[in-house]
Amino acid sequence: MSWVFTAEKRFYLHDGETLLDGMIRTEHKDVRFMCRQGYCGACKMQVKTYTGRLTCKKTPLAELDDDEVLACCCLPEGVLTVAYRHG
Ligand code: FES
């Protein structure tokens, strides 16, 4: 289990739940996604801080900066703070 902090909420992720699935489950209003497969980039999030490992369920195909993850692929451990990349 890990904890996630966004501008909208604090919530925990179940084992094996992606960041995107957790944001949808907790009814984030500004969450964006399309493919859920790691190639469109719509779910891109900026990582502010994290205490554990950030592993990927799939290899991201969308282009990412060093401080970005794809929420649909991201399986964080520990405590993660993220921000939306879209306006
Ligand atoms: S929803 Fe398309 S890359 Fe995550």
Average pLDDT on 7-13 reads 96
CA distance 71 to 26: 14
Whether residue 86 has pLDDT greater than 80: no
pLDDT on residue 1: 79
23-29 long-range CB contacts below 8 Å, 24 or more apart?
23/71
pLDDT on residue 87: 56
Whole-prediction pTM = 0.94
* pLDDT tens string 11-69: 999 999 999 999 999 999 999 999 999 999 999 999 999 999 999 998 889 999 999 99
CA of 34 to the centre of ligand 1 (A): 6
CA distance 79 to 65: 20
Ligand 1: residue of 33, 57, 63, 75 to mutate (most ligand atoms within 8 A of CB) is 33
Q: How many CA atoms lie within 13 A of 74 on its CB side?
A: 31
